[in-house]
Amino acid sequence: MTDLVAFRRDLHRHPEVGSHVPRTAAALAGALEAAGWRVTRGVGGHGILASLGTGAGPLLRADMDALPITEATGLPYASEVPGAFHGCGHDGHTAMLLGAAEALAADPPPHAVHLMGQPAEEQGTGAQAMIADGLFERVAVTRAWGLHCWPGAPVGALSTRAGPMMAHEDNFEIVVEGVGGHASQPHLQADAMVAGAAIVAALQTVVARTCDPADFAVLSVTGFETDGARNVVPSRVAITGDARGYSDAVRDVVRAASRRVAQGVAASHGCEATVAWDQSFVPLVNDADSVAMATEALDLDADQPRVGGAEDFAHVLARVPGAFLFLGNGTEGPGALPLHNPGFVFDDRAVPHGVVALTTLARLG
Ligand SMILES: [Zn+2]
Ligand SMILES: [Zn+2]
* Domain tally, the chain: 2
The whole-number pLDDT of residue 280 equals: 87
CA of 318 to the centre of ligand 2 (A): 18
Listed in sequence order, the residues at least 6 apart from 30 whose beta carbon sits closer than 8 Å to its beta carbon are none
Does one domain contain both 9 and 51? yes
Q: Which residue segment(s) compose the domain that 321 sits in?
A: 4-164+284-363
Contact status, residue 184 vs residue 203, Cβ threshold 8 Å:
no
Does one domain contain both 266 and 300? no
Does one domain contain both 240 and 181? yes
Predicted TM-score (pTM) of this structure: 0.91
Contact status, residue 98 vs residue 105, Cβ threshold 8 Å:
no
The whole-number pLDDT of residue 66 equals: 98
Q: Helical H runs in the chain? A: 4-13, 22-34, 90-106, 126-132, 135-138, 192-210, 248-268, 288-297, 314-317, 351-362
CA of 120 to the centre of ligand 1 (A): 10
Does one domain contain both 156 and 305? yes
65 classed as catalytic: yes
Decide: residue 53, CB within 10 A, 0-12 exposed, 13-18 middle, 19+ buried: middle
For residue 347, the domain's CATH number is 3.40.630.10
Decide: residue 154, CB within 10 A, 0-12 exposed, 13-18 middle, 19+ buried: exposed
**Environment of ion ligand 1 (residues, CB < 5 A):** 88
Does one domain contain both 179 and 47? no
**Helix, strand or coil for residue 107?**
coil
The whole-number pLDDT of residue 365 equals: 84
CA of 265 to the centre of ligand 1 (A): 35
Among candidate residues 280, 307, 340, the one where a domain is terminated? 280
Q: Which of 16, 63, 65, 170 is catalytic?
A: 65
Q: Which of 16, 71, 91, 121 is catalytic?
A: 121
- At residue 112, φ and ψ (nearest 5 deg) are -70, 155
Measured from the alpha carbon of residue 67, the closest ligand is: 1
Does one domain contain both 192 and 296? no
* Each residue's pLDDT tens digit, 93-152: 999 999 999 999 999 999 999 999 999 999 999 999 999 999 999 999 999 999 999 999
CA of 36 to the centre of ligand 1 (A): 30
Does one domain contain both 50 and 152? yes
Averages of pLDDT over each 10 residues, the chain, 365 residues: 97 98 98 98 98 98 98 98 98 98 98 98 96 98 98 98 96 98 97 98 98 95 97 98 95 98 98 96 96 98 96 97 98 98 98 98 95
Provide the 8-state DSSP code for 320. S
CA of 310 to the centre of ligand 2 (A): 9
Measured from the alpha carbon of residue 68, the closest ligand is: 1
Measured CA to CA, the distance from residue 354 to residue 326 in angstroms comes to: 10
CA of 62 to the centre of ligand 2 (A): 10
CA of 339 to the centre of ligand 1 (A): 6
* Each residue's pLDDT tens digit, 291-338: 999 999 999 999 999 999 999 999 999 999 999 999 999 999 999 999
Does one domain contain both 174 and 314? no
Among candidate residues 217, 245, 280, the one where a domain is terminated? 280
Does one domain contain both 211 and 313? no
For residue 260, the domain's CATH number is 3.30.70.360
Does one domain contain both 17 and 99? yes
CA of 299 to the centre of ligand 2 (A): 23
Among candidate residues 215, 245, 280, the one where a domain is terminated? 280
Listed in sequence order, the residues at least 6 apart from 48 whose beta carbon sits closer than 8 Å to its beta carbon are 25, 28, 29, 32, 39, 40, 41, 64, 115, 116, 117, 118
Measured from the alpha carbon of residue 61, the closest ligand is: 2
Contact status, residue 200 vs residue 269, Cβ threshold 8 Å:
no
Nearest to 146 by CA among 294, 6, 336: 294
